[in-house]
Chains A and B, each alone.
Chain A
Amino acid sequence: DIVMTQSPLSLSVTPGEPASISCRSSQRLLHSNGNTYLDWYLQKPGQSPQLLIYLRSNRASGVPDRFSGSGSGTDFTLKISRVEAEDVGVYYCMQGLQSPLTFGGGTKVEIK
């Protein structure tokens, strides 16, 4: 199984400031078709997870452009350029390259 490791476990951010979350996979997530199967999800308090980023850097429909995904190989990053109050919640990375699909342990983002 591919193990997904996120850091930090939690993050406290001042509104308007940037934030960054790291995700590391135990195997490369690059498929032979050239795609990197790494997703990011946000679970806001009391809600279902929602897709933010797919294929490492593609924003899902309706996701603000302050969210960006990057990385390669086994190291990936989700960046929020200017954190807003509505961005609080738990962020998860997930590898979609092979079964079993696996999630990171989550990073909780709160506002200072």
Chain B
Amino acid sequence: QITLKESGPTLVKPTQTLTLTCTFSGFSLSTSGVAVGWIRQPPGKALEWLTFIYWNDDKRYSPSLNSRLTIAKDTSKNQVVLTMTNMDPVDTATYYCARRLKTATIYNGFDYWGQGTLVTVSS
């Protein structure tokens, strides 16, 4: 059974750094083609992709947030950590982590999602 769960602070102050952890089970981030990504959703708005990290440590970031985002994995702990600096009230959103599978011959989209964690940015 594949599960993912996000954890981290629910409230951060403007200019602070947000650190979220995605803890997963049922798959390995050392398996070829596997990636874990972060997607966020401001209240009442659409989904926005932020970043993902692949099994081989290949990383991609949203250009609009690139300078503020860092993603890292700890394969031994089955965790992926997202860091977002200089938080602003507009960053208030539910943050989801999700698994992605993509190789030259296999693609499953974001097939498993965490429950999401609401992060509010306010002083």
Contact = CB atoms under 8 A, between A and B. Distances in A.
Q: Name the prevailing secondary structure of the B interface residues.
A: strand
Contact of B107 (A35, A48, A105, A106): A35
A35 B108 CA distance: 12
Residue among B47, B49, B64, B116 having the largest count of chain A Cβ atoms under 10 Å: B47
Contact of B115 (A1, A48, A92, A106): A48
B27 interface: no
Contacts of A92: 46-47
A50 B49 contact: no
A61 B48 CA distance: 24
A7 to B, nearest CB: 14
Contact of A99 (B60, B105, B113): B60
B62 A54 contact: no
Interface in A76-112: 92, 94, 96, 99-106
Contact of B104 (A1, A33, A54): A33
Contacts, number: 67
B43 interface: no
B102 interface: yes
Contacts of A48: 96, 113-116
A-B interface, 10 closest residue pairs, ranked by CB to CB distance from nearest: A54-B109, A101-B49, A39-B109, A99-B60, A48-B113, A103-B47, A100-B62, A106-B46, A105-B46, A51-B109
A41 interface: yes
Interface string B61-105: 111100000000000000000000000000000001010101011
Residue among A1, A33, A92, A103 having the largest count of chain B Cβ atoms under 10 Å: A103
Interface residues of B, number: 27
Interface residues of A, number: 26
Interface of A: 1, 33, 35, 37, 39, 41, 43, 48-51, 54-55, 60-61, 92, 94, 96, 99-106
A51 B107 contact: no
Given A51-B110, A103-B46, A96 B96 contact: no
Contacts of A99: 60-61
Contacts of A61: 111
